[in-house]
Chains A and B, each alone.
Chain A
Amino acid sequence: MTDVSRFATVILWTSVALAAAALAAVVVERAAVALIRMRLRRIERRYQPLIQRALTGDDSAAGALAMSPARHRPAIARLLVTPLITDRRPARIARTRVIADELALVALADRYLRSVWWWRRALALRALGLVQVRERTPAILASLDDPRPQVRAAALDALTDMRDPAALAAIVVRFHDPSLHRGRRAAALTAFGSDSEPFLLELATADHTNRVNYARALGMCGTIRCRPALASWTRDSRPQVRAAAFEALARIGVDETSAALALEALDADEQQVRAMAAYALQGWTGDGNAATHLARHLDDAWPVAIRAARSLRTMGPGGLSELQASASRPDLAGILARQMLWSGAAQC
């Protein structure tokens, strides 16, 4: 019984101690957060007007910022750089770069880049990219091989923001690199737009294994210049490559040659190829009686049927008459046709 009483006492005091410690944690955390917020607000009140003036070209304001104590610099950098995430006007970026230089923020970023803490390296990379400090492109490219995925992701973000042509080849080469976030890879390529196209086509010539990725990449940034290559890939032995090539053609737009290939591919054995071939024909009003061919696929497998219907809606009077002809059908093809006609009418 004595043992039980002792056990009870120990348990009670342990519980009291834990509850008191948790209560103290709440108070300390809230006090710390409040202090940090108060300090940031004070810095913001003090420096935000100066930053605004400095951004409009007021050198005295920039000079006053340069005189700020070193301990305020990270907070000033945040106020200066964060708006660049959404505001990508070249003039603002250029002026921010000048101010950042005067405040020795680039030197601070260089120091952070060498930090052992990954979050500091990532922060420095994001800032350098947003301010477009192109002298640091080699350092950012080197960070694509950082052991931490978070830093590699920040490096890719920085290269996207930087849009330095010197980095383009490296980005294209790393397009298949699974160690880099795929969304960010796509964003980087999209940022360079059609400038990436020649590199992609050149690499695709030598690298047949990754052709499906090149086709997808060209779907994002390709122009009519890559149509011949894509058209030739629609005859690849791998169905994924053929489907990706038709998908890219759908985004770029087909010409007579590629439209003929798409019409032919509507009879392919693989569903994904037929679906993407139907997709590629969107907006095509040229030769080949495409609308009639597509209408036959309204009762194909669902992924093919829906793309055929959507393409028919974009094919002008030819597509419209095929949809009207199918609209009276009682099956899924009929509903699809009626849906497309309804959507077209609603848009008008």
Chain B
Amino acid sequence: MLTAFTAAAIVVSVAVTIYFLLWNVSQLLMSPVAALYVWRHQQLHTPRARAVVGQIAAQPLVSIVVPAFNEELTIVESVRALLALDYEAREIVVVNDGSADGTLAALSRAFQLTQAPLAFDQPITTAPVHGIYRSIAEPELVVVDKENGRSKADASNAGINAASGVLVLIIDADTVLEPDALSRAVVPFLEDPTTVAVGSNVALTNGCRIEQGRITKAALPRSWFARFQVVEYMRSFLLFRLVCAAANAVVLISGAFGLFRRDALIAIGGYDPTAIGEDMDLTVRLQEHFRARRQPIRIAFDPHPLGWTQAPEDLRSLRGQRWRWRRGLLQVLWRHRHMIGSRRYGTVSLGALPYIVLFEGAAPLIEVVGFSIAGAAALLGVLNWRYFIVMVAASALLGTAVTLIALVLSDVATGRYQRGRELALLIVVALIESFGYRQLNSWWGFVGTVRALRGRGGWGVITRRAFES
């Protein structure tokens, strides 16, 4: 009996080690493709190429939709930053999603809002709209005050309904945009008529100096949790997503920054309010809709961060966010399981989705179960302790290697953290992130999976902080 358990423990340990080896090596192999993508992007999207936007007779009107739920602390600064964007043809649609705090009052005070009639076609059903407000001081600002729809998706849909632009930019209320974000993001639509959406790298505002809604100094946050997320975002946005973009198989446009053709959003019925990971669900549905109809589709991705967002710094908010992300991921994969492996959807269903299932979907389960079995076997003396330690160390070291490569890519793509001290700190963060933080994430992923299977969970509350000035 003990012999069988020993054999099983060894098999599980070796299998888990091979799994992590494959996962990390696959990510390392992605790095040349990602580097090539970044280089090509820099060659193509030169300042001269971006100037095309200003040279055409009629710039496409972009409606910036800002769903806001209890965003009293940041909303005014966010809207001010949007009003200062360098792209002329834009309107701002703030959707107050039944906030319980003073979001609407703060907007009203800052921009002298007045109730005004606004007629719009309502192709997407949403929770009832109470009123429309417009600013006399800022004519391009529209505020939609609606009943809480219990999801960002519902608020975004109300914004899409009210939008009059051919392009719709969906951001979070706390997203800070780069001043040239729109003129950069619009270019792929002008270049290629098959472009239906543009996503971008997203960076963290934590620790940055923000003045009048602009990042005036990019710096690393003081909180270690936020620092870990800085390198986590680099790894997430600059490896797999760039490879997906290179293969025209983008399956996730972050909710913090996504520019879409409005007609494409309407065609798929907007965001699904029942989706937990509404941003990934929307992107996959866009791919599904166009590819199923054999219509050409391109979803472009800018490796430069066009939007900056706030990451949770306290353990509770972070845990809640990770549980939600986990449930969102599993829900999207389950809903679109018919696509996985089907030739009909091309690189999306044959490459991106299977990879996500294999490595992102299964990783927390394999990590927690595999390490638990190996740990138990080591405790019982049926597995050599040395092997268990090697297994943990190898998985952490490979993870560190991937993070460091992402750091190189981030430096090339964004040049964000210039000072030597910041680089040294980032290297330290990359080294220690794999020893504790990643395991904690895997545990949250595991618990999130269990909670998803038991049908528990809501949106969770993320404690927002006012921007540091």
Residues of A within 8 A of B (CB): 1, 4-5, 7-9, 11-12, 14-16, 18-19, 21-23, 25-26, 29-30, 33, 82, 85-86, 119, 122, 126, 130, 150, 153, 157, 160, 181-184, 186-187, 190-191, 220-221, 302, 306, 309, 332, 335-336, 338-339, 342-343, 346-347
The 10 closest A-B pairs by CB, nearest first: A183-B190, A22-B404, A15-B397, A338-B117, A187-B55, A302-B121, A335-B119, A336-B119, A22-B401, A15-B394
A26:B401 contact, CB within 8 angstroms: no
Among residues of A, the one whose C-beta sits closest to the C-beta of B21 is: A11
Residues of A within 8 A of B53 (CB): 183
Looking at the complex, which one of A22, A157, A190, A306 makes contact with B405 (CB distance below 8 Å)? Answer: A22
Indicate which residue in A29, A150, A186 contacts B412 across the interface (CB closer than 8 Å). Answer: A29
Given A182-B193, A336-B119, answer yes or no on A26-B43 (Cβ-Cβ < 8 Å). no
B residues less than 8 Å from A25 (CB atoms): 404-405, 408
Specify which chain A residues have a CB less than 8 angstroms from the CB of B49 in the assembled complex. 153, 157
In the complex where A190-B57, A302-B121 touch, is A126 in contact with B48 (Cβ < 8 A)?
yes
Residue B17 lies at the interface, judged by CB distance under 8 Å to chain A: yes
In the bound complex, residues from chain A placing their C-beta under 8 Å from that of B398 are 15, 18-19
**Which of B48, B189, B415 is the most central at the interface, judged by chain A CB atoms within 10 Å of its CB?**
B48
* Alpha-carbon distance between A12 and B386 when the two chains are bound, in angstroms: 11
Asked whether, in the complex, the Cβ of B56 is within 8 Å of the Cβ of A346, the reply is no
CA–CA, A220 to B58, complex, Å? 8
Pairs A–B under 8 Å by Cβ, sample size 29 = A4-B384, A5-B384, A5-B386, A5-B387, A7-B14, A7-B17, A8-B394, A12-B394, A15-B395, A15-B398, A15-B401, A19-B400, A19-B401, A22-B400, A22-B402, A23-B404, A26-B407, A26-B408, A26-B423, A29-B412, A82-B47, A181-B52, A181-B190, A183-B52, A190-B55, A220-B57, A220-B58, A338-B117, A342-B116
Pick the residue among B52, B387, B400, B408 that contacts A157 (CB under 8 A): B52
Residue of B nearest to A129 (CB): B48
Task: Decide yes or no whether B89 CB sits under 8 A from chain A.
Answer: no
Other-chain contact of B190, A23, A182, A221, A347 (Cβ < 8 Å): A182
Contacts of A343 in B (CB 8 A): 139
**B117 and A191 within 8 A (CB):** no
Q: Give residues of chain B (384-438) contacting chain A, Cβ–Cβ below 8 Å.
A: 384, 386-387, 390-391, 393-395, 397-398, 400-402, 404-405, 407-408, 411-412, 415, 420, 423, 427
Least CB separation from B164: chain A residue: A306
Given the complex of chains A and B, what is the CA–CA distance between A236 and B433 in angstroms?
67
Q: Does B295 contact A (CB under 8 A)?
A: no
What's the least CB distance linking B77 to chain A, in Å? 25
Contact check, B390 vs A85: say whether CB atoms are below 8 A apart: no
CB contacts under 8 Å to A, within B20-77, are 21, 24, 28, 43-44, 46-49, 51-53, 55-58
Q: Given A18-B397, A183-B190, A220-B57, A339 and B119 touching (CB < 8 A)?
A: yes
Instruction: Say yes or no: B43 contacts A122, CB within 8 Å.
Output: yes
Asked whether B180 is an interface residue with its Cβ less than 8 Å from the other chain, the reply is no
In this assembly, does B8 line the interface, its C-beta being within 8 Å of a C-beta of chain A? no
**B10 interface hit (Cβ, 8 Å):** yes
A216 to B437, CA, bound (A): 56
Q: Does B134 contact A (CB under 8 A)?
A: yes
Task: Contact check, B17 vs A11: say whether CB atoms are below 8 A apart.
Answer: yes
Known contacts A29-B411, A342-B134, then 17 further A-B pairs from the complex at CB < 8 Å, ordered by chain A residue: A4-B384, A11-B21, A15-B393, A15-B401, A22-B405, A33-B412, A85-B48, A153-B191, A160-B55, A183-B56, A184-B191, A186-B56, A186-B190, A220-B56, A221-B57, A336-B119, A346-B116
CA distance A343 to B114 in the complex (A): 12
Contact B43 A150 (CB under 8 A): yes
Question: Are A346 and B52 in touch, CB under 8 angstroms?
Answer: no
Interface residues of B in 184-213 (CB under 8 A from A): 187, 189-193
Residues of chain B within 8 A (CB-CB) of A302 are 121
How far, in Å, is A221 (CB) from chain B's closest CB? 8
A186 to B355, CA, bound (A): 40
Alpha-carbon distance between A195 and B187 when the two chains are bound, in angstroms: 26
Chain B residue contacts of A15, Cβ below 8 A: 393-395, 397-398, 401
Q: How far is the CA of A157 from the CA of B52 in the complex (A)?
A: 8
- B118 engages A335 (CB within 8 Å): yes
Tell me which of B118, B191, B397, B412 contacts A181 (CB under 8 A).
Answer: B191
Report the Cα distance A4→B390, complex, angstroms. Answer: 11
C-alpha gap A342/B393 in the complex (Å): 67
Q: How close is A267's CB to chain B, nearest CB, in angstroms?
A: 22
Contact A30 B397 (CB under 8 A): no
When C-beta atoms are compared, the residue in chain B nearest to A298 turns out to be B119
B14 in contact with A4 (CB, 8 Å): yes
> Bound complex: CA of A130 vs CA of B51, how far in Å?
12
